[in-house]
């Protein structure tokens, strides 16, 4: 069972570079999310999507962009990387906005130097 798959798992970026974190899920879930987690802290929501073609900002969207062209994929784009974006990024999905379980990927460790 693949579930939620994120790539890459580790990446080092230089300040000002750009990159895309890929996320795909094979559960036909409508809702997808991107979170970041700084050391010793809980997760913070960056962006979310309720279906193909629909995205919305979460708590900390500045410096990021997303797109949702298909149900399966929800890439996160970092433009002009900054040291403050050094974090662990988690992609997640669930069927809808009710009490259903949210499934998380294994995380992508990003360092900006």
Parallel/antiparallel/unpaired status of strands 43-51 and 103-104? unpaired
Of 23, 64, 90, 110, which one interacts with another protein (CB under 8 A)?
Answer: 90
Closer residue to another protein, CB minimum distance, 15 or 57: 57
CA distance 85 to 66: 15
Residue 89 near residue 8, CB atoms below 8 Å:
no
Name which of 23 and 112 has its Cβ closer to another protein.
23
Residues in the chain: 113
Binding segment for another protein (CB under 8 A), chosen from 17-25, 35-43, 62-70, 74-82, is 35-43
| Cβ–Cβ < 8 Å for 6, 107 | yes
Contact set with another protein (CB under 8 A): 4, 31, 33, 35, 40-45, 48, 50, 54, 56-59, 90, 92, 97-99, 101-107
């Amino acid at each position: 069972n693949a579930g939620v798959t994120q790539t890459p798992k580790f990446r080092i970026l230089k300040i000002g570079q750009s990159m895309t974190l890929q996320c795909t899920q094979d559960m036909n879930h409508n809702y997808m999310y991107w979170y970041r987690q700084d050391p010793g802290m809980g997760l913070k929501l960056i962006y979310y999507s309720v279906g193909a073609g629909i995205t919305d900002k979460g708590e900390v969207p500045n410096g990021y962009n997303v797109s949702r062209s298909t149900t399966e994929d929800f890439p996160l784009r970092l433009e002009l990387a900054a040291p403050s974006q050094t974090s662990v990024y988690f992609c997640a999905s669930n069927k809808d906005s009710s009490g259903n379980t949210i499934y998380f990927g294994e995380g992508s460790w990003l360092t900006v130097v």
